[in-house]
Homo-oligomer: A and B are copies of this chain.
């Protein structure tokens, strides 16, 4: 067993559910902080700004700083900074302000997220032309469908990412779970190597198998949120451990942190 030097925590279904924090979650996060373990809260949310999310979570009583929240939007900002590139945005209107202060640069990157109604032919074609002209291609998500407000499935961002991939011949760098690029960026933001990290999530496929496939040494599946009986046997690789909830996962981490 390696040393644990960093923790990735999924949010919905692990820390909170709907509008309320899950039992013991506030105290579990506090214990991880007290133990000096760096944490990143990793979420695929692409419709809320970091500011909105942090204010919602602190409103639930959770200890969380802006630096600890890692979203696909954050990962895209980090990528743009590292590659000295300016974005062409096709994202949710709420997310545009997140990129407002990105400096102009000669290099370009198309950033595609949950643009919804903004996925017009004109905007898609502008993004396509940027790609043909040499822009890099970042996707904040590649989900196929989502449950819409009217209770029916709707087309998710992945459809439009795939459309641009098909016509441009470029594969998007996907900056959301379960993409290795995303897990790596979250760990890099706290200077932690994958072999020293643990991920905690309620989604056996995307959070747990996804993290292990991305090279993380450990991933714990919690039986809260979207967990369904038998999920620990449904995907490869299986979880390193299964815990009742986040407090039990924190116990496991604190027990194993010194290897």
Interface residues of A (CB under 8 A from B): 115-122, 124-125, 128-129, 132, 144-145, 152-156, 158-160, 162-164, 166-167, 169
Copies of this protein, total: 2
Q: Are A167 and B152 in contact (CB under 8 A)?
A: no
**Contact assessment for A166 and B144 in the assembled complex, using a CB-CB cutoff below 8 Å:** yes
Complex CA–CA separation, A26 to B106 (angstroms): 54
Docked pose: A184 CA to B77 CA in angstroms: 50
**Distance between Cα atoms of A159 and B163 in the complex (Å):** 4
| In the complex, chain B residues whose CB is within 8 Å of the CB of A158 | 166-167
B124 near A159 with CB under 8 A, answer yes
A159 to B129, CA, bound (A): 13
Contact check, A128 vs B167: say whether CB atoms are below 8 A apart. no
Q: In the complex the two chains form, what is the Cα distance from A116 to B124 in whole Å?
A: 11
Can you show 8 pairs from A to B with CB atoms below 8 A apart? A117-B122, A119-B124, A120-B121, A125-B155, A128-B153, A128-B154, A158-B167, A162-B162
B124/A153 in contact, CB under 8 A: no
Contacts of A167 in B (CB 8 A): 144-145, 155-156, 158-159
List the 10 closest A-B pairs by CB distance, nearest first.
A159-B163, A163-B163, A162-B166, A159-B167, A119-B121, A144-B167, A128-B155, A125-B155, A117-B121, A155-B167
Quote the shortest CB–CB distance from A236 to chain B (angstroms). 21
Report chain B residues within 8 Å CB of A125: 154-155
Q: How many angstroms from the CA of A121 to the CA of B155 in the assembled complex?
A: 8
Determine whether the beta carbon of B166 is less than 8 Å from that of A159. Answer: yes
Q: Which B residues are in CB contact (< 8 Å) with A128?
A: 145, 153-155, 159
Are A155 and B163 in contact, CB atoms less than 8 angstroms apart? Answer: yes
Query: How far, in whole Å, are A166 and B164 apart by their CA atoms in the complex?
Result: 12
CB pair B152 A129 closer than 8 Å: yes
Given contacts A116-B121, A128-B154, A144-B167, 7 further A-B contacts (CB under 8 A): A128-B145, A128-B159, A144-B169, A155-B167, A156-B167, A162-B162, A162-B163
Query: Cα distance A164–B159 when bound, in Å?
Result: 6
Residues of B near A153 (CB, < 8 A) are 128-129, 132
Return chain B residues, CB-CB under 8 Å to A116: 121
- Chain B residues closer than 8 Å to A144, beta-carbon distance: 166-167, 169
Which single member of B120, B129, B152, B154 contacts A120 (CB below 8 Å)? B120
Nearest residue, chain B, Cβ from A116: B121
Residue of B nearest to A153 (CB): B132
Q: Which residues of B contact A164 (CB under 8 A)?
A: 155, 159
